[in-house]
Chains A and B, each alone.
Chain A
Amino acid sequence: MLSLLSRFLQMLFVLWVVATILFFLFRLMPGDPTVAYIDTNFNEEQVRQLKKSFGLDQPLHVQYVLYLGNLAVGEFGNSFHQKQPVLKILLSVLPNTIILTLSSLIIAYAFGSLAGAWLAWRRGTWIEGVMIPLVLTLRAAPEFWLGMVLLSIFGFQLGWFPSGGANSAGALYTSEWQRITSADFLRHLVLPAATLALYLQGLPLLLMRSNMLDVMSEDFITMARMKGLSTRAIVLRHAARNALLPVATAFALGFGASIGGNVVIETVFSWPGLGRLLVSAVAASDYPIAQGAFFIISVVLVVMNFVADLLYSALDPRVSHARRG
């Protein structure tokens, strides 16, 4: 319990460091947020008013204290350009990003762990010779390239899937739930999710395969063989279960990592998500949105790290934080 608390405190410390870096990062970056308003009628009075409304007329340390205080109560401030509360803007796109990330992670990890187990079993065959380079190529291919290839084939040429966005033009839904469960939404989801999944599947697959190879050489597998169990039972019930552990951890971490890493895919597929919001905010020096988006991403990453830790001890009792007497 004590170690849990200490883990939690560590988490808070990490978030404070992240928040501080974010604060200074954007303020030290070249480019003043008021320059976005430069126009033939723009004058000094307007610059002054803008800075005041952004809170940038205060000394840096005052801004910092205000910022931390606000952050502690979940207040991210207002966007410089959209003028709306950052949290509201972030929450409006967050569901799209989470759905995209989760669905592709699930596909990638389900496929990756099964294929990894299978490839470990088929070690040394021609299948391995074809599959491993293919997996590595997909893993190494730039996401935007992969996305454009899929878009060009299945979108522009075959017309099976729409070329971008999360819904058809003018589609009307009564609720958010109805929207994300609609066939239209799912059809829009296929290409971006497939691109992300193709990119993500490499890690679980290779991880699973090498774990399987380790596990397969252990005594209890030999024992199972001696007992005369079927191959299927050995691979799935005995070996795979044990090899799955690191993959589960990777899943939790992968979720944290890819929620902010979808920038490229969201741009290619015009998917209205967090990554795209982040890019436009950075480009426009919209500090509050950029800070907020990065912070949320960090929170998810740190929390998922924590979850991975907990998951580990739950899945494998040998790993535990509790002190043993």
Chain B
Amino acid sequence: MAMTRMKLAFSRRRLLRTGLSIGLMSGLVISAAEAQQGDQIRKLVLITGAQAGDPQEFQSAQLIAQEWRKLGLDVEVRGMPRPQVSELVWSNRDKWDVTMWRMVGRPERSDPDELVYNLFHSSTREKGYNFVGYQNPEYDKVAEAQRGEIDLAKRKVLVEKAQDLIMQDLPYFFLVYPKNVIAFNSNVWKKDSIVEQSGIGVRNFWTFIGATPAGATKDMVLNSADPLLSINPLYISGAVDSWLTDLVWDRLMRVGPDGLPKPWSAEEVKYIDPTTVEIKLRAGQTWHDGKPVTIEDVIYSFEAPAGDKSPMYKPFVSNIAGMEKIDDKTLRFKLKTPNASFFTSVLAKINLIPKHVWEPILSGDTLKGKNAESYQEAQPIGSGPFKVARFKLQEETVLEKNASHWAAPKMDRWILRIVTNTEAAVGMLKRGEINYLSDYRGDPKILEEIGKTQPEITLAATVEMGFRHVGPNLRRPPFDDINFRKALMLSINRNVQVQAAYNGYAVPANSQVSSALTAWHKSEQFKPSIEEAKKILEKAGYRLVGGKLHYPDGKKETLQSLN
């Protein structure tokens, strides 16, 4: 009995094996026949922020997927919490297909260098910001050249060339330059004293020092949805924190309302030769503790981040080879290589800090082996137009005007409230609990409506220098094919994006240099067309089989969809 069962099992196994090999053989035959045709393109996963976290981006992704499906692609829109998106895109560079992404506007991005170089230069491809994996030696050359070119006209040609190359190679599908919308009470602040900074909006340094009270209220009360993380001149902590550091700590230069750097704590800045910059310190400046601002303080401010005490600021001073004190007012920076954005991204970025405060901290054992980021001054000391009166990071921070500053503010106090509820923030503006809505993430139409019934609530919408875009992973087919990318790009209607995803509060985008940077931006005429996209795919050999898009002949699908 046992014997027969064993035999049976044995023969069954043989039978199975034979069957299997027949199956395999026929499989081989079929695949040989199919070798002519390309495989069906796998399901593509379009990654986006979660709907609840970023409804605009999610909506935008849905619209894009809808168009791509018309090309015969299988597209899934997958919303994820922002940190998860970042980790996937940043740390797993060969795993994802295509992602929604955004760049935010910051004063130092008024110079196009950061976005031209760091986003697309091949040196940042493995570990840096070039996570889409763009590689073009010609682009590298142009990006490097514009960085070193101090002649404005010549540099402009190079920056335009860089934009041309991106528009031609399509490593990003640009969507929109969003408009930043905020509002203020013009019964409290004179309208004409509110300054619009190009690409940033009306919430900026120039507004804060220039805003003039229209009536008895002399305190500006603002809101932020996020709590502050720290008030520290050596730590780039959060976006909102930088509103404060900007006001408390002066810099040698500041990015002006026009987006160009202008001398600030230095009254004069000039090139001696392409790698030597000379500054003259403005006379009579003092720290908030009353001590004078000296040239030694300035030197110290640029030396302090160079070590390991301020890792976030370190990259900004890494091009400084040395500093030479000429006299008590004059200092020369010696650069390692010529750097066109030196004024904007270094001189207007590095906070001037008092040597007498920070040297004992950084060189003593106050930090207990940690770096300067973990040090929170009980009373922050800068030389800026505002002094810190008191702060509770989770609740409220109060700045007072520094009346002895050479550009003293018109307001008495600058009070930042942490308001986590967007509706409540709007309610507060209506009721006067705040008079400057500095952080608004809701629907701009709601503010428009309020403006109609309460005319003193004044809206200000500014095109940002940041942008929203789609980042295809160029390491992964079919995104490595320029024709495929061209077709995807052509099928996105950016005008529809502006209206349907951004409620009209955005303008179509076409390049890494925002149209807000009028001096550098290169515009482009674009005509979205699904028909044109289909033609390009067809011409490149892609085939529709049963409504599904297949690779050109001979091309196998070797990758898995993101799971």
Q: Provided the pairs A84-B376, A169-B221, A169-B396 are in contact, do residues A269 and B311 lie with their beta carbons within 8 angstroms?
A: no
Contact status A53-B424, CB under 8 Å: no
- Name the residue of chain B whose CB is nearest to the CB of A33: B83
CB distance from A286 to the nearest CB of B (A): 10
Q: Of A131-139, A159-167, A292-300, which stretch is located at the interface? A: A159-167
Contact status B219-A81, CB under 8 Å: no
Q: Main secondary structure on chain B at its contact with chain A?
A: mixed
A78 CA / B86 CA spacing, docked (Å): 23
Residue in A44, A93, A283 whose CB lies within 8 Å of B127: A44
Q: Of A34-42, A67-75, A121-129, A308-316, which stretch is located at the interface? A: A34-42
CB distance from A128 to the nearest CB of B (A): 36
A-B contact list, 14 entries, CB within 8 Å: A31-B81, A32-B91, A35-B83, A53-B370, A82-B229, A83-B235, A83-B375, A92-B394, A93-B394, A148-B423, A155-B431, A165-B395, A170-B219, A170-B413
Contact status B431-A30, CB under 8 Å: no
Q: Which of A35, A155, A166 is most buried by chain B, counting CB atoms within 10 A of its CB?
A: A35
Pairs of residues from A and B, 3 with the lowest C-beta to C-beta distance, nearest first? A31-B83, A35-B86, A83-B374
Q: Which of A44, A152, A266, A280 is most buried by chain B, counting CB atoms within 10 A of its CB?
A: A280
- Name the residue of chain B whose CB is nearest to the CB of A267: B420
Chain B neighbourhood of A268, CB < 8 A: 420-421, 424
Give the contacts of B197-250 with A (CB-CB under 8 A): 219, 221, 226-227, 229-230, 232, 235-238
Give the contacts of B393-446 with A (CB-CB under 8 A): 393-396, 398, 413, 415, 417-421, 423-425, 427-428, 430-431, 433-434
Contact status B396-A43, CB under 8 Å: no
Q: Main secondary structure on chain A at its contact with chain B?
A: loop
Chain A neighbourhood of B221, CB < 8 A: 169-170
Known: A47-B127, A82-B229, A92-B394. 9 other contacts (CB 8 A): A31-B81, A31-B83, A31-B86, A35-B86, A40-B119, A267-B420, A276-B394, A277-B394, A280-B227
Contact status B238-A272, CB under 8 Å: no
- Name the residue of chain B whose CB is nearest to the CB of A47: B127
Contact status A272-B418, CB under 8 Å: yes
A237 CA / B113 CA spacing, docked (Å): 80
Query: A178 an interface residue at 8 Å Cβ cutoff?
Result: no
A269 CA / B118 CA spacing, docked (Å): 41
- Name the residue of chain B whose CB is nearest to the CB of A165: B417
CB distance from A281 to the nearest CB of B (A): 10
Interface range, B side: 35 or more
Type the 1/0 row for A45-63, where 1 means its CB is closer than 8 Å to any CB of B: 0110110010000000000
Q: Which of A148, A166, A170 is most buried by chain B, counting CB atoms within 10 A of its CB?
A: A170
- Name the residue of chain B whose CB is nearest to the CB of A80: B229
Residue in A41, A84, A92 whose CB lies within 8 Å of B315: A41
Contact status A163-B229, CB under 8 Å: no
- Name the residue of chain A whose CB is nearest to the CB of B393: A82
Query: B358 an interface residue at 8 Å Cβ cutoff?
Result: no
Q: Provided the pairs A42-B128, A92-B394 are in contact, do residues A169 and B434 lie with their beta carbons within 8 angstroms?
A: yes
A269 CA / B425 CA spacing, docked (Å): 10
Residue in B315, B375, B419, B423 whose CB lies within 8 Å of A165: B419
A95 CA / B485 CA spacing, docked (Å): 56
Contact status B219-A270, CB under 8 Å: no
Query: B129 an interface residue at 8 Å Cβ cutoff?
Result: yes
Chain B neighbourhood of A284, CB < 8 A: 83
Chain A neighbourhood of B393, CB < 8 A: 82
Contact status A156-B370, CB under 8 Å: no
CB distance from A147 to the nearest CB of B (A): 9
Chain B neighbourhood of A277, CB < 8 A: 227, 394
A284 CA / B421 CA spacing, docked (Å): 18
Contact status A46-B311, CB under 8 Å: yes
- Name the residue of chain A whose CB is nearest to the CB of B131: A38
Query: B84 an interface residue at 8 Å Cβ cutoff?
Result: yes
- Name the residue of chain B whose CB is nearest to the CB of A271: B420
A20 CA / B379 CA spacing, docked (Å): 38
Contact status A30-B118, CB under 8 Å: no
- Name the residue of chain B whose CB is nearest to the CB of A277: B394
Chain B neighbourhood of A84, CB < 8 A: 230, 374, 376
Contact status B420-A270, CB under 8 Å: yes
Contact status A164-B428, CB under 8 Å: yes
CB distance from A2 to the nearest CB of B (A): 44
CB distance from B428 to the nearest CB of A (A): 5
CB distance from A145 to the nearest CB of B (A): 12
Give the contacts of A252-278 with B (CB-CB under 8 A): 266-270, 272, 276-277
CB distance from B345 to the nearest CB of A (A): 9
Contact status A270-B421, CB under 8 Å: yes
Query: B114 an interface residue at 8 Å Cβ cutoff?
Result: yes
Query: B87 an interface residue at 8 Å Cβ cutoff?
Result: yes
Chain B neighbourhood of A285, CB < 8 A: 83
Contact status A31-B421, CB under 8 Å: no
Contact status A267-B87, CB under 8 Å: no
CB distance from A317 to the nearest CB of B (A): 45
Chain A neighbourhood of B316, CB < 8 A: 41
Contact status A163-B424, CB under 8 Å: yes
Residue in B86, B226, B413, B424 whose CB lies within 8 Å of A280: B226
